[in-house]
Amino acid sequence: MNIITVTDYQAMSDWACQHLIKRINELEQPVLGLATGSTPEGMYSSLINAYQNKQISFENVISFNLDEYVGLPSDDHNSYNYFMHDKLFNHIDIKGKNAHLPNGIASSPDQECQDYEKLITQTNGIDLQILGIGLNGHIGFNEPGTPFSSRTHVVELDDLTREANARFFASKDDVPTHAITMGIATIMESKEIILLISGENKAEALKQLIESDVTEDFPASILQKHPNLTIVADEAAAHSL
- Active-site positions read 67, 136, 138, 143
CB of 139 to ligand GLP, least distance (A): 7
- 6 contributes a contact to ligand GLP by CB under 6 A: no
Phi then psi dihedrals of residue 144, to 5 deg: -50, 135
- 140 contributes a contact to ligand GLP by CB under 6 A: yes
CB of 53 to ligand GLP, least distance (A): 26
CB of 45 to ligand GLP, least distance (A): 14
Phi then psi dihedrals of residue 131, to 5 deg: -130, 145
Closer residue to ligand GLP (CB): 140 or 183: 140
CB of 132 to ligand GLP, least distance (A): 3
Closest CA to 117 of 88, 140, 95: 140
Taking a C-beta distance cutoff of 8 angstroms, is the pair 240, 203 a contact?
A: yes
- 161 contributes a contact to ligand GLP by CB under 6 A: yes
CA dist 115 and 113 (Å) reads 5
- Greatest Cα pair distance, the chain, in angstroms, is 45
The residue length of the chain stands at 241
63-102 residues near ligand GLP, rule: CB under 6 A: 66-67
Taking a C-beta distance cutoff of 8 angstroms, is the pair 192, 228 a contact?
A: yes
CA dist 54 and 206 (Å) reads 35
State the binding string over 8-47 for ligand GLP (x if CB under 6 A, else -): ---------------------------xxxxx--------
Strands (E), 132-183: 153-156, 178-181
Closer residue to ligand GLP (CB): 27 or 85: 85
Q: Which residues bind ligand GLP (CB under 6 A)?
A: 35-39, 66-67, 132-134, 140-141, 161, 165
